[in-house]
Amino acid sequence: MTSSHSNILCRWQTDDLLCWLLRGLAAIAGLVVVVIVGFLIAEALPVLSLIGLGRFFTDPSWHPAEGFYNLTPMLWGTLFAMAGSVLIATPLGILSAVFCHHYAPPAVARSYRRLIELLAGIPSVVYGFWGLVVLVPLIGDIHPPGPSLLAGILILTIMILPTITLMADASLANVPQHYLRGAAALGLPRWATIRGVVFPAAKSGLFTGVILETGRAIGETMAILMVCGNVVQTPSSLFDPIRTLTANIALEMAYALGDHRAALFVSGLVLMAMIVGLAIAAEWISRGRIYG
Amino acid sequence: MYRYRDSSGLKVGHVFSAFLVLALFGAHDTATAQTTAPDPLSGKLVVTGSSTVAPLIAEIGKRFERLNPKVRVDVQTGGSSRGVTDVRQGLADIGMISRAMKDDEKDLHAFTVARDGVGIIVHKDNPIRTLSDEQVIAIYTGKITNWKEVGGKEAAITVVSKAEGRSTLEVFLHYFKLKNTDIKPHVVIGDNEQGVKTVAGNRNAIGYVSIGTAEYDESQGVPITLLSTGGVPASTESVRNGTFPISRPLHIVTRTAPAGLAKAFIEYAQSKAAHDLITQQYFVPLAN
């Protein structure tokens, strides 16, 4: 820690004060996570000590009222919905940001950006409602029943698209102008400039965008609850209904008691573990390459 | 750089902070025990239990508070079984139960406030108007998968069922003598409104919801139809006169014979003065 010796009146108190204040604030932020995890574990403990963690992955089904607690189908449901939507939204978002920055006329780019920002501001329950009354019947016409993994992926894609688009847009804007001028001076065509100069220079921002959209895709609850059908099963096709871990908690928490309630906290723990796993994976992928 | 506004990364956090709030309130419950004041119509009444009955009791409670300004009625939900447990342990003065009383609950004093019927609904465009109990069971257990097999159009049936823990599911399972593990649903829903919207949006769906909700939505032009069960048309009228088979009484219970404030409240909830509130909540007041 460096102290500012320019402060003549009180040479070190201000710095000390600030230091302790910041330490305190940082501790609070860290503590919140620890308290929440501790609380989740405390609430899940009754059922964990009763039946053990293993049965949450080996039981025949999820029927907590009858003592079956298999979370695996919901884990798959969450993973498939997340992976599908991220796979569609990432290229779409990055390419639309490229369009916005390098191809679109300024007027179009500006209104396009506003539009995407508006998309980011729509509450998730509105997306869910739209999905339920428009998207789900449409899918139902193609392949019944309608509420399905596909509906979930499409809704999630629309929801996370603004996250990646705006993040990519911001990081493209951050690429130093002299890189672009240098590329132009070398006579590189536009796409070669984007691929060879802009993307490598903006990769940390793009990567952060992907992490953020993935987080949102895993955490989304309300819209998914309305369009996915919520049947606990491992999907074998895009048209199968699924239930995600978040939807499971939202759907059953209000009426759950005893072991059932504790089992829902285990859902929360598994979800938390997934997020931690994601963070570790991101750290591992990016180490020394993305942010370095 | 940051034109970007972060409205996204926090979603997971919401779920967990919801837990935190839940926990705080959950812990708070144990503290609000029975309080009896010398004056019979003052003090606090703690009512816990079924989330089906809770909105009704909350409304009745509000009106009761207005009539007796010194009284506070504190309504908390948590399912019928919590109603029973809390009353037995003395954590609540009155419990709410959305089903018939079980044999091992004979120790409690139960009072019927209203009745609720569970009706089977299909989309309005579906020509089916009645299904036998066997057909309903076959559809819900996945033995019949096409409307053609029960005299309808050639179309796959979308089975809509309720999430575990909902009392409508319990009533449905109890009437058809099924277990939740037997049911092969295509869509699992939470509350009644979600069920109505799901069936209204899918021409080939079948679902079951509270009759009061379905009848109200039907009258508002939502494209659903209530099927008759066992030859009895599903309506609030047939629930009221007790002829509709899939119906349940909504009870409030006490541990000891009610006296004072609890007695006054129960009598008020059962009186004609509360009938309009019962109808408002899409339940059916008793015949008297």
Which of B10, B186, B206 would best serve as a mutation to test chain A binding (most A beta carbons within 10 A)? B186
Provide the residue ranges of all domains of chain A, joining segments of one domain with +: 3-51, 71-286
Residue B9: the pLDDT is 38
Burial A144-162 (b: 16+ CB within 10 A, else e): bbbbbbbbbbbbbbbbbbb
pLDDT digits 0-9 by tens, A242-273:
999 999 998 888 777 778 888 999 999 999 99
* pTM of the complete model: 0.74
ipTM score assigned to the predicted complex: 0.71
For a pLDDT cut of 90, what percent of chain B falls above it?
26
Q: What is chain B's mean pLDDT, rounded?
A: 81
CA-based nearest residue to B50, from B21, B76, B24, B87 = B76
Confidence of residue B6 (pLDDT cuts 50, 70, 90): very low
Residue B137: the pLDDT is 94
| Cα dihedral: B124, B125, B130, B136 (round 10) | -90
Residue B123: the pLDDT is 92
Query: In this structure, how many other beta carbons lie within 10 angstroms of the beta carbon of residue A200?
Result: 10
Query: In this structure, how many other beta carbons lie within 10 angstroms of the beta carbon of residue B279?
Result: 15
Least CB–CB distance from A144: residue in B3, B7, B158: B158
Residues of chain B contacting A124 with CB distance shorter than 8 Å: 11
Residues of chain A contacting B201 with CB distance shorter than 8 Å: 132-133, 136-137, 140, 146
End-to-end CA distance of chain A: 23
Distance from CA of A237 to the nearest CA of B (A): 13
pLDDT digits 0-9 by tens, B98-119:
888 888 888 899 999 998 889 9
Does A63 contact B180 at a Cβ distance shorter than 8 Å?
A: yes
Residue B40: the pLDDT is 56
Exposure of B273 in the CB half-sphere (CA atoms within 13 A)? 14
- Contact of B98 with B248, CB cutoff 8 Å: yes
Does B187 contact A40 at a Cβ distance shorter than 8 Å?
A: no
Q: HEC states along chain A?
A: CCCCCCCCCCCCHHHHHHHHHHHHHHHHHHHHHHHHHHHHHHHHHHHHHHHCCCHHHHCCCEEHHHCEECCHHHHHHHHHHHHHHHHHHHHHHHHHHHHHHHHCCHHHHHHHHHHHHHHHHCCHHHHHHHHHHHHHHHHHHHCCCCCCHHHHHHHHHHHHHHHHHHHHHHHHHCCCHHHHHHHHHCCCCHHHHHHHHHHHHHHHHHHHHHHHHHHHHHHCCHHHHHHCECCCCCCCCCCCCECCHHHHHHHHHHHCCHHHHHHHHHHHHHHHHHHHHHHHHHHHHHCCCCCC
pLDDT digits 0-9 by tens, B113-136:
998 889 999 999 999 888 899 999
| Residue A277: pLDDT over 60 | yes
Which of A71, A138, A255 would best serve as a mutation to test chain B binding (most B beta carbons within 10 A)? A255
Tell me the C-alpha to C-alpha distance, in Å, between residue A122 and each of A206, A218, A264: 23, 18, 28
Fold of domain A71-286:
MetI-like fold (1.10.3720)
Residue A258: the pLDDT is 75
Residue B37: the pLDDT is 43
| Residue B181: pLDDT over 60 | yes
For a pLDDT cut of 70, what percent of chain A falls above it?
94
Q: Measured between CB atoms, does A61 come within 8 Å of chain B?
A: yes
| Length of chain A as a residue count | 292
pLDDT digits 0-9 by tens, A170-224:
999 989 999 999 999 999 998 999 999 999 999 888 988 998 899 889 989 889 9
What are the structural domains, with CATH classification, of chain B?
Answer: 43-115+248-285 (3.40.190.10), 116-240 (3.40.190.10)
pLDDT digits 0-9 by tens, B223-280:
999 998 888 888 888 888 878 888 888 999 999 888 888 999 999 999 988 888 988 8
Does A231 contact B187 at a Cβ distance shorter than 8 Å?
A: yes
For a pLDDT cut of 70, what percent of chain B falls above it?
85
Does B188 contact A166 at a Cβ distance shorter than 8 Å?
A: no
| Residue B196: pLDDT over 80 | yes
Q: Measured between CB atoms, does A141 come within 8 Å of chain B?
A: no
| Residue A159: pLDDT over 60 | yes
Q: Measured between CB atoms, does B26 come within 8 Å of chain A?
A: no
Instruction: Give the 3-state secondary structure of residue B134.
Output: helix
Residue B39: the pLDDT is 53
Q: What is chain A's mean pLDDT, rounded?
A: 87
Question: Rg (Cα) of chain B, in Å, rounded?
Answer: 21
Distance from CA of B285 to the nearest CA of A (A): 25
Residue B23: the pLDDT is 42
| Residue A274: pLDDT over 50 | yes
Exposure of B75 in the CB half-sphere (CA atoms within 13 A)? 18
pLDDT digits 0-9 by tens, A10-21:
566 888 899 999
Does B163 contact A251 at a Cβ distance shorter than 8 Å?
A: yes
Give the residue-averaged pLDDT of B41-52.
Answer: 85
Residue B287: the pLDDT is 66
Distance from CA of B163 to the nearest CA of A (A): 7
Please tell me the distance from the alpha carbon of residue B30 to that of residue B253, in angstroms, as a whole number. 19
Confidence of residue A291 (pLDDT cuts 50, 70, 90): low
Higher pLDDT residue, B56 or B168? B56
